[in-house]
Amino acid sequence: MIQVKNLVGGQFFSTEEVFDDISPINNTVIASVPRTKSVQSAVSAAEIAFEEWSKLSIEERCDWLDKIADGLEARIEEIAKLEALDTGKPIDVALNVDSKRSVNNFRFFAGFGRDLKNETFEMDDATNYVVRKPVGIVGLISPWNLPLYLLTWKIAPALLMGNVVIAKPSELTPLTAHLLGKICVEIGLPNGVLNIVNGYGPEIGQKIVEHPKIKAISFTGGTATGKQVAATAAPLFKKLSLELGGKNASIVLDDADLEIAVPGVLRASFLNSGQICLCGSRILVHSSLYESFLSRYLEELERFEIGPVISNQHREKILSYIELAKSEGGSIIFGGNVIEKAGAWIEPTVITDLSHKSRTATEEIFGPVVTIHSFDSDEEAIEMANSTEYGLAGSVWSRERGRTVAERIESGMVWVNTWLHRDLRVPFGGIKDSGVGREGGMWSIGFFSEAVNICVMED
């Protein structure tokens, strides 16, 4: 049994009340987790740490980010094992997606920080220059699907810009954040610069969002929770970044190369058991390719390895959507059932014969469930893709017209002939109910700093 602890001011401690962390692989209890209800001690520790941390040069902070990356890299296998245990994902996904990206988030922002250019704007008679000041104490709240990957995506740029952090991992997946805390203590990161508090969202998460001394909130999670976070933070005038849900379309046009489209769309459907906000859970296929696409897709799906979903409770939600699909007239042409073994296992599920406007095809399920629809023209595909309240991502598969169609999808990110191909400099985020703001590269720098303009009149 692992004892997860909070990290506050460089000290590890637990709380009187703890709760169990359960592995979705076989329902065993793997850790005890503090049920923290107050954020005050973390705020006090962060306030003290801010004095020194915010005065370091950006180069010094880049060096710290590299040291954290080194510490994570040295434990890359351990991170993968913990992540696989906590989330149920296959170990190679945990290693190649989660662990590597967690290291790379620190590495990338260290390099990005060293390359930051002065921002100056000359006038005929004056010079403007921008000073990027830290925001202060920032609250970083992350979900369970890519635990350390998403938390470090926020921590690295926050620290780079001189902020001090109060991070809250998901209560369902606290193990790797705990390891990150241990690594930061081992390498001697100054006390209080990174504080990690564990507990339930409506308790400690809410306290973080409410605390007046926490000046910015970066949140990744569900749209309903995002609404609650926004309602709490907005009257306090906090900076707010919300990365929320998605119901992304994978669009296979009539000139698609099925050699790449089939494996690409399949990976977008089921990587991480479909529990990535970028997953393509609505597959739109041109009618001329529909039959050939479907038979190859189902054939390749037979060989696709997926783990369980995050919890029994989440599996219940997914199963309720499969029932809904049936009541909406859908045909379950693959899967649809629980896999009978201990843990939150469920078959990858493919549903056809549904309207693209049905609830199943427009609401976020966040599991290994896709709906497939056919269309007859690019116009129709675009209309179908845009017919949800979400607007996070999407992919277009086409030899010739990918860009034209991609530009008309109402989403923050669209891939053409690929999926989840990430350059960390580009803007990441959604429109509509998928969130507010962008992170990545300069967008993260902007969020985690206050840009102050100094205008100097020339003599």
Could you list the residues that contact ligand TXE (CB under 6 A)? Answer: 141-145, 168, 170-171, 201-202, 205-206, 209, 220-222, 225, 228-229, 243-245, 277, 364, 366
Supply 72's token pair. Answer: 């994570």
For ligand TXE, the closer of residues 110 and 194 by Cβ is 194
The type of residue at 347 is E
Separation of alpha carbons 349 and 371, rounded Å = 9
| Least distance to ligand TXE, CB of residue 27, Å | 18
How crowded is residue 49: how many other Cβ atoms within 10 Å of its Cβ?
22
For ligand TXE, the closer of residues 265 and 393 by Cβ is 393
| Least distance to ligand TXE, CB of residue 56, Å | 29
How crowded is residue 132: how many other Cβ atoms within 10 Å of its Cβ?
17
Q: Which of 62, 184, 277, 279 is catalytic?
A: 277
| Least distance to ligand TXE, CB of residue 428, Å | 11
| Least distance to ligand TXE, CB of residue 240, Å | 12
Write phi, then psi, for 199 (nearest 5 degrees). Answer: 150, -175
For ligand TXE, the closer of residues 162 and 343 by Cβ is 343
Which residues are bridge partners to 435 per DSSP? 243
How crowded is residue 381: how many other Cβ atoms within 10 Å of its Cβ?
26
> 134 exposed, middle or buried (CB, 10 Å; 0-12, 13-18, 19+)?
buried
How crowded is residue 323: how many other Cβ atoms within 10 Å of its Cβ?
11
Q: Please state the length of the chain.
A: 459
For ligand TXE, the closer of residues 9 and 222 by Cβ is 222
User: For ligand TXE, which residue has the nearest CB?
Assistant: 201
Q: Is 277 a catalytic residue?
A: yes
Scan for tokens 């306290």, then name that residue. 207
Edge-to-edge, what's the strand order for the sheet holding 120-122?
120-122, 126-134, 449-457
Residues 6+ apart with CB under 8 A from 46: 137, 164, 165, 166, 192, 193, 195
| Least distance to ligand TXE, CB of residue 235, Å | 15
Output the DSSP codes for 367-408. Answer: SSEEEEEEESSHHHHHHHHT-SSEES-EEEE-SSSHHHHHTT
| Least distance to ligand TXE, CB of residue 314, Å | 6
Separation of alpha carbons 326 and 320, rounded Å = 10
The type of residue at 311 is S
For ligand TXE, the closer of residues 229 and 253 by Cβ is 229
| Least distance to ligand TXE, CB of residue 366, Å | 4
Would you say 122 and 436 are in contact if contact means Cβ atoms under 8 Å apart? no
For ligand TXE, the closer of residues 71 and 430 by Cβ is 430
Q: Which of 62, 171, 184, 243 is catalytic?
A: 243
Q: At what angle do helices 147-160 and 175-186 cross, to 10 degrees?
A: 40
For ligand TXE, the closer of residues 243 and 254 by Cβ is 243
Distance of CA 245 to the CA centre of its chain: 9
Residues with a catalytic annotation lie at 243, 277
